[in-house]
Amino acid sequence: MSCVRVVAAVCAVAVSVTLAACGSASSSSSSTASATNAASSATSQSGGSSAIPKNLAVTFGSADDEVALFKTVSSGIVTDAKALGWTINEFDNALDGPTALRNAGLMVQAKPDVAIDWNTVVAVGRSVGAQFTRNNIKCLAVNQQIPGCAWFNLSNEEAGLEAASVILPIAKQRGWNGKNTTVVMVVAAANGVEVNNGPRYFYIQTAKQLPGFVQVTPSQITATTTTIGGTRAIQIDCKSTLDGAYAAAKNIVGDIPKSNNILLYGSDDDCDLGAYRALTQAGWGKGRVLTGGLAAEPEGLNELRTDPNWVFENSEFIQDWGPYVLAEAAAIHQGVTPPMLTPSPEVGLTKQTLDQYYNAQNQPITLPALVPDNQYLAKTGILQKFLKIKGLNAS
């Protein structure tokens, strides 16, 4: 799965990435944990004792094995678990709520030491978590939050804020403001609150830093919001696909004043790429759009390398999530109380910093250093076994 392994493999080209994390309830065991607790119980990044548990039995509900990127992650999790000597049974949630519910029941029947579940449908998350809780099964939610389970994911809010920190100074230097610029926010409405935080907080920062935009609170931008301040901001639903984003953007190009510049930000690369394609075809070309992606898919990285309009890419190294997920599962099994959210690896890339992390073939060279809330994962020894991480010695 990984392109950062000591033994390198081929990274799959991604299609749609649902970089979501939704739900309001946290794990009953993790809700009282803090970053301080996580940091104090973790080993240092320079290595630490390797304590990989043996003969662990895990179940894994994958997001959708028909989606290339999700399949890359799920195949890596299964392969790596077997390499650790664990027993693993995989179930495909197929981006479908009823399927995820049914799979949760099957995982319960398997009586695993830890259930790992990547459910993408917010509406069924509570019911999925209830099945694990009722049966006293330790569980780990990947990407989407599942009440009652520990949680591994990126921070979409942080991604949006980091994109704004790079894109908005360029816009400001060009004199872009609410009178001559439209913000196009591309969200995956069905995937809940957190998945929309990237575009949401990108707009919040735009309104704070550039004059002429209507300032609102995050809670005032919902999945059903279509405009803010007339043509100052337009929000569209990509439905988690590149084609969905393209179609939605095509529907709004007539609403944007032709003389306006565009600040574009989407909830993931495919949503951004689809909208960007529609906008450029409608006449917003070089120097008239500023954008950046989230997920570091190969096409997004290519845009960052070659397109002057594409000035930022937030990478969560999703192809390499497997060892992080398995390390958290091992820690949970060993009795560690994780923080409310164990963050995925994350780095904001610009044209100047891209080559520090990715080679010309868009394969990762290294992963960013651990942070306080995921540093405890190093103590299991699993990260060192599979990945090259800054500041972390290989096992």
The answer as to whether 9 is a domain residue is no
Q: Examine the domain organization and report whether 137 and 122 are in the same domain.
A: yes
Q: What is the mean pLDDT of residues 141-169?
A: 95
The answer as to whether 26 is a domain residue is no
Q: Measured in whole angstroms, how far is the alpha carbon of residue 43 from the centre of its chain?
A: 25
Distance (Å, rounded) from C-alpha 105 to C-alpha 107?
A: 5
In this structure, how many other beta carbons lie within 10 angstroms of the beta carbon of residue 89? 16
Q: What is the pLDDT of residues 258-277, one digit of tens each?
A: 999 999 999 999 999 999 99
Which one-letter DSSP state was computed for residue 187?
Answer: E
CATH code: domain of residue 60:
3.40.50.2300
End-to-end, the C-alpha distance of the chain in Å comes to 19
Q: Examine the domain organization and report whether 147 and 161 are in the same domain.
A: no
Residue range of the domain that includes 105: 35-153+319-343+365-386
- Pairing assessment for the beta strands 181-187 and 233-237 based on DSSP bridges: parallel
Q: What is the pLDDT of residues 190-233, one digit of tens each?
A: 877 887 899 999 999 999 999 999 999 999 999 999 999 999 99
Query: What per-residue confidence (pLDDT) applies to 51?
Result: 80
Q: Examine the domain organization and report whether 146 and 166 are in the same domain.
A: no
The answer as to whether 392 is a domain residue is no
The answer as to whether 355 is a domain residue is no
The answer as to whether 10 is a domain residue is no
Q: Examine the domain organization and report whether 272 and 376 are in the same domain.
A: no
Q: Examine the domain organization and report whether 184 and 220 are in the same domain.
A: yes
Q: Examine the domain organization and report whether 331 and 285 are in the same domain.
A: no
Q: Examine the domain organization and report whether 309 and 326 are in the same domain.
A: no
Q: Examine the domain organization and report whether 205 and 127 are in the same domain.
A: no
The answer as to whether 96 is a domain residue is yes
Distance (Å, rounded) from C-alpha 243 to C-alpha 118?
A: 23
Distance (Å, rounded) from C-alpha 388 to C-alpha 395?
A: 10
Query: What per-residue confidence (pLDDT) applies to 395?
Result: 62
Q: Examine the domain organization and report whether 184 and 290 are in the same domain.
A: yes
Distance (Å, rounded) from C-alpha 238 to C-alpha 49?
A: 45
Q: Examine the domain organization and report whether 161 and 178 are in the same domain.
A: yes
Q: Examine the domain organization and report whether 301 and 210 are in the same domain.
A: yes
The answer as to whether 298 is a domain residue is yes
What is the value of pTM for the model shown?
A: 0.78
Q: What is the pLDDT of residues 292-349, one digit of tens each?
A: 999 898 999 999 999 999 999 999 999 899 999 999 999 999 999 999 999 999 999 9
Pick from 108, 90, 142: nearest CA to 325? 142
**What does the angle CA 288 – CA 290 – CA 295 come to, to the nearest 5 degrees?**
145
Q: What is the pLDDT of residues 175-197, one digit of tens each?
A: 999 999 999 999 998 877 887 89
The answer as to whether 393 is a domain residue is no
Q: Examine the domain organization and report whether 288 and 176 are in the same domain.
A: yes
> What's the structural domain count of the chain?
2
